[in-house]
Amino acid sequence: MRFWSVLLAMVSIPCIACGPQHANDPSSVLHTYARALEEGRADDAYGVLSDEARRGISLEAFRRMVKDDPDGVREIAKALERPTAAPVVTATVTSPSGQELNLVLEDGRWRIDASTIDLYAQDTPRHAIQGFIRAIEHKRYDMVMRYVPDTHKEGLDAAKLQSAWEGHEKQEIEQVVGGLKQALPSATIEETGERATMPYGAGAMQLVKEHGLWKIENFD
């Protein structure tokens, strides 16, 4: 699993450095990487990885992975040569407050991606936390309910949340929101399958993915 995930994860990282074919578009970079893997040319495959990818694995370790399972490497290479859709070039800009702005490259011009329009998005853990914070700050408890997992909704509604979070739990919620806002811009969110965790202050926020949407399971 480690072997497969590392080789495939490299593809999702923007390839800034180019290999011997000097590829300069996503399809060419993918082809260069796949061909190098298929032919067992570990150094050439490593050459098209970004600086971030190289920081995650040394050349020596990459060589060992390619050498130890040549059949597996060739299978991965063939899979990469059969993309299911045209490549899409995207970029993410993060504001000082931790808000993400997504862009997509279309016809040589950067444009705002549709995901940026949704102020209460739940497609990623980070977006879910951002939307959760925004909903609380704007007292949109109807929107806060979107972030409550199904298993926690019994006996709970927007009115009860408002009563508690603007009443006896107000100070606690303000501390949570303050801690999340402070941590979010530089926080590392760990994802494991359908669950994610973001540390903040002295605690951590736990998220769970339900029906394709990220929700807040717990915060302490």
Classify domain 119-219 by CATH number.
3.10.450.50
Return the amino acid letter for 203. G
User: How does pLDDT run across 82-105, given as a tens digit for each residue?
Assistant: 765 666 777 877 767 666 677 888
The CATH 3.10.450.50 portion of the chain extends over 119-219
Measured distance CA(76)–CA(206) in Å, rounded: 33
Measured distance CA(83)–CA(2) in Å, rounded: 22
CA proximity to 43, closest of 21, 66, 24: 66
In whole angstroms, how far apart are CA 191 and each of 56, 81, 209?
17, 27, 10
Is the pTM higher than 0.85? The answer reads no
pLDDT higher than 90, residue 149: yes
User: How does pLDDT run across 170-203, given as a tens digit for each residue?
Assistant: 999 999 999 999 998 888 899 999 999 999 987 8
Which residue has better confidence, 118 or 130?
130
Measured distance CA(61)–CA(64) in Å, rounded: 5
pLDDT at 98: 63
